Structure 1
Amino acid sequence: MDLATIIGVVLSFGLVVSAIMMGSSLFVFVSIPSALIVLGGTLGATLIHYPLSNILGVLGVVKNAFFTKLANPSDTIAQFLEYAGRARKEGILSLEPLLKEIDDDYLRKAMQLTVDGVEPQVIQEIMQTEVAYLQERHETGADIFAAMGMYAPALGMIGTVIGLVQMLQSMDDPAAIGPAMAVALITTFYGAVLANLVFNPLSGKLKTRSKEEVLLRELTLEGILSISRGENPRIIEEKLNGFLPPKMRTKME
């Protein structure tokens, strides 16, 4: 579970709710018509913008913001140095028994291609295609949330206009002015909160997660290609350390 995301959600909503309760009851900000306008309108606009399959698929992508924990790149490099040393001493086929111990599907597939004797150029083409489609899936999920972050405030403004129209039509009835004004203001509040505390932050987190995962995939691919070419473990170490900042780089003993 991503601690930063959880802390961010709890902190942002907690402070907003606390500020509301300092001045009034929380139920003052509960409005069913406003929620229907903002939530329903945002969902409807998103369904118009994107195919249904993409909307349903975003549920699988959004878990990356909360639950995905990527492997430590330093540990991955150390793992590749072990593989490279074993392949150099005992041959590339000595890596085949290790395949069942690899949890990462991407690494296992690349390793299997290497053990099968596939040319490095072919391995690179196959695995780069997987990375490209991974980026596309992640970008689609991030774009959907970015679109929802754009639609929510707009629907909030539409709700405000609806509330103002209702208020102007009932100026001769003072009792009806309050509820209409509440719809006018609370819809804007809902749209702003959803856009700035939910949709846009999730979009940004998914883009960050995608970059981290792509970097790890590129590091993995470079390690596999180096092993398939039979390069010296020290050369592999220098290549893979180039993907990391200096503080995270490993040194082979």
Structure 2
Amino acid sequence: MLDKSTVIGFTLGFSLIFLAIITQGSVLVFASFAAILIVGGGIIAATMINYSFENIKTSFAAILSMIGAKDVDLRTDMELLSMFARRVRSDGVLVLDSDIQHIEDPYLKNGLQLLVDGFKKESLDSILRDEIKSRERQIDTSINVMYSMADYAPAFGMIGTVIGMVLMLQNISDPESLGAGLSVALITTLYGTILANMFFGPLAGKLEYLSELDLNRKEMFRTGINSILEGENPRIMEKKMLIHVDPKSRAEYIKYHEGIRISKERDERFYKLWIEQQNKEWDDLKRVLETG
């Protein structure tokens, strides 16, 4: 689902516009089927002209997947990969074979599967990098589609304004036609401006932000998978992965692990719980592990 700030932003923005309307008049005054056809139909048509149908379909699929993505805590991911790394160092890489099917993140799941299948470092890293680049291209296309729609909206609002003005001037002697033409002229501009500045533009910015988080997480996974393949000490792997964590969370993670000792019992307890805990907040994971 959308994060809290996005939900609050959409709700607040449209609520303020709605309140401004109802305090001064009727909402029905601002309802115009002709304006919807001009602005909505124009945006759709222009987008289909600018992008292929496959690009649009892929873009909206990516948009839905990004919007529906769960909030993730990279520190929980680090705990999971560190636990996997210790198991591999103790029992070999095949010990992960039965665990991979329970991993929810597709990128991490595929990367560990390649690791278990015995891919060499160069081939494995190349595949992981290519997946990140492919995802980046897909998200960039989705963002461009949204920004394009944000650009088209006010433009078609202006087209509606011109159409309304022409209709108004053709029947300037008829008061009823004059009012109808002026209504279409102004309402289409309103629709286009609202769609551009309250929907498509902000949503494109949010997708851009979410894509940066998603790609950063994948880069961290790539670092961890390569470290496991090379048989590095999990502590060294953690130091490499911490680069991808924000400074505040990084400091909390380091401080916490300086005060505890990773024991076999803790790993066994974590191993029993990791499937349902893999997407939980790190603080929740700590609480579960500390209370047993």
Normalised to the residue count of structure 2, the TM-score between the two structures is 0.83
Letter in 1 for 2:114: L
Decide which moves more: 178-187 or 84-93: 84-93
Does the CA-based 8 Å contact 1:5-1:66 persist in structure 2?
A: no
Report the alpha carbon displacement of residue 70 of structure 1 after superposing the two structures with TM.
4.3
Q: 1:232 to 1:65 in 2, by over 3 A?
A: closer
Partner of 2:76: 75
CA distance in 2 between partners of 1:57 and 1:114 (Å): 29
Partner of 1:175: 176
Q: 1:167 to 1:62 in 2, by over 3 A?
A: same
Partner of 2:140: 139
Partner of 1:208: 209
* SS of residue matched to 1:23: coil
Report the alpha carbon displacement of residue 108 of structure 1 after superposing the two structures with TM.
1.4
Does the CA-based 8 Å contact 1:65-1:205 persist in structure 2?
A: no
Does the CA-based 8 Å contact 2:66-2:211 persist in structure 1?
A: no
Report the alpha carbon displacement of residue 226 of structure 1 after superposing the two structures with TM.
0.4
State how 1:1-253 maps to structure 2 within 5 Å: 1-2=1-2, 3-64=4-65, 66-249=67-250, 250-251=253-254, 252=257, 253=261
Gap runs ≥5 in structure 2: 262-292
Identical aligned pairs, as a percentage? 38
Q: 1:136 to 1:70 in 2, by over 3 A?
A: farther
Report the alpha carbon displacement of residue 59 of structure 1 after superposing the two structures with TM.
2.7
CA distance in 1 between partners of 2:95 and 2:62 (Å): 36
Superposed CA RMSD: 1.3
How many equivalent residue pairs? 253
Partner of 2:281: none
Per-residue CA shift, 1:8-62, capped at 9, x if unaligned?
A: 2211111111111110100110111111111111111111101111222233122
Decide which moves more: 215-224 or 34-43: 34-43
Report the alpha carbon displacement of residue 175 of structure 1 after superposing the two structures with TM.
2.2
Letter in 2 for 1:21: I
Does the CA-based 8 Å contact 2:94-2:116 persist in structure 1?
A: yes
Letter in 1 for 2:99: L
Report the alpha carbon displacement of residue 116 of structure 1 after superposing the two structures with TM.
2.2
Report the alpha carbon displacement of residue 92 of structure 1 after superposing the two structures with TM.
2.0
CA distance in 1 between partners of 2:150 and 2:221 (Å): 34
Decide which moves more: 183-192 or 169-178: 169-178
Normalised to the residue count of structure 1, the TM-score between the two structures is 0.96
